[in-house]
Amino acid sequence: MRGKLIAAIMVAATAVFVPAAEAHPNNLTWAPCAGIPQEECAGVEVPVDYQKPAGPRISIAVSRIQTAKPGLRRGVLLLIPGGPGNSGLDRPSVLGARLPQEVRDRYDIIGFDPRGTGRSAPVSCDISGPDADPLGLLPWPGADGDITGNIAKAQRVAQACAHNGGDLMRHISTRVETQDIDRIRQALGERKISYWAVSYGTYVGAVYATLFPNRTDRVILDSSNDPTTAERGWIQNFATGATDRFPDFATWAALRNDTYGLGTTPDAVTTRYLTTADDLDHTPRPDLTGAALRAIMLNSLYSDATFPLLAQTLQGGPVPPLPAPPPATYQNILATAVATACNDVPWPHTVYQYPQAVAENRQAFPLTAGMPANIWPCTFWPYPSETPITISSHGPENILMVQNRRDPATPYPAALKMRAALGHRARMISVNSGGHGSYLTNGNPCGNTAVTTYLTNGTPFQDTTC
């Protein structure tokens, strides 16, 4: 759900981060993973602060499903979750179960909870009231683009995270996650790792490939964003992504006008959505506001399977319940997302620019009504950010990107920026599909086959359109 609700260090020249010495593998103690059948779990100890390696430590929860055919084993395939804020411990049995048998035969499938999430020293900002509503994670403006309430909420959330989140909140970032991943690699006793990274996880994967290029084997980056604009730029890219993707829904609904009555043409369906959202801004229903409708819209574009959710809402009937995490899980998601976004890169620390930016964005991209340009808690973040990481082309040619053409969260033009940053190291499969997440999710058989072939035998190929 996290991926659906949200909606990746500038190194001197092309310098590469190299650990001072290779740590000996931990003697990991594997045991049945509580609440996750089929998996084994263990803990990998890491420093809270990598600048103080002898200081306090936390345990990163790691899971695995071993290959049933050790004679075919190539190594490990780490599943890097999106978000930021997603747990990943159950991914070997959930996402990994979708993998073709020939992939599972060749790898131990490894999951983990990034620091601050799930079972890896979870953090919380302990926000309350309307601030804790998952539909409000993205900062949707009020009627006519008013952001007074957004500014106040951003300040409250930043203060709550700083006050309640603990010292670990200062040490949650993409750079640190890659350092944790390298400790996981060492603990597993692997010289190199392969990984399948999705959404925000592709930025983690690209940073790892930049900082530890010689530790990578076969790399899959699925649904990438522009690495040069992390993290504020990713939110802004929702405007482009929704514009690219909404016509798929409008066409789908127009073909089903007898069922939903939203219009007989895509233009008519689009007008119905925009008019309804504007009406709800000024005359909200007891169960639906304009902001909530827009959140449902963006959520529904992640997959064709959720198109009926938006269509039913636009019909005017009862709002179908949205899948949402339990309150404690959402608190954890929010805290980790805020910490990562605010620690990764510098954000503007003044509010005067946001009303104009929202007004201009609202005019240019009416579907998302200015939300992508709106204020975030990072404007009020009290801690210094890290220096942004520049993704490098230095390293082996072992990265395969797979990208849907019409992705609402990580739009295709942004993925091309990732492809350019990786240079000769990467190849890209451009998939003529819509939705967020391509390989084995919302892609097509052509793209799926290409990724599977690469994972199983490393067959090289050029940039491809599917």
The per-residue pLDDT for range 156-189, each reduced to its tens digit, is: 999 999 999 999 999 999 999 999 999 999 999 9
Q: Which residues of the chain have pLDDT under 50?
A: 1-24
Q: How far is CA 441 from the centre of its chain?
A: 15
Beta strands at 75-80 and 193-198: parallel, antiparallel or unpaired: parallel
CATH of domain 2-122+170-231+388-465: 3.40.50.1820
Q: Is 36 helix (H, G, I), strand (E, B) or coil?
A: coil
Decide if 107 contacts 73 (C-beta within 8 A): yes
In which residue are the tokens 């500038």 written? 10
* Among the listed residues 188, 183, 189, the one whose alpha carbon sits nearest the alpha carbon of residue 212: 183
Q: Is 58 helix (H, G, I), strand (E, B) or coil?
A: strand
Whole-angstrom Cα distance, residue 46 to residue 44?
6
pLDDT of amino acid 13: 27
Tokens linked to 444: 């097509």
pLDDT of amino acid 134: 87
CB atoms inside a 10 Å sphere around CB 193: 24
pLDDT of amino acid 459: 78
pLDDT of amino acid 156: 97
* Amino acid type, 122: P
* Amino acid type, 367: L
Whole-angstrom Cα distance, residue 259 to residue 84?
37
For every residue of 314-369, DSSP letters joined together read: HHTSPPPPPP---HHHHHHHHHHHHHHHHHHS-----STTHHHHHHHHHHH-TTTT
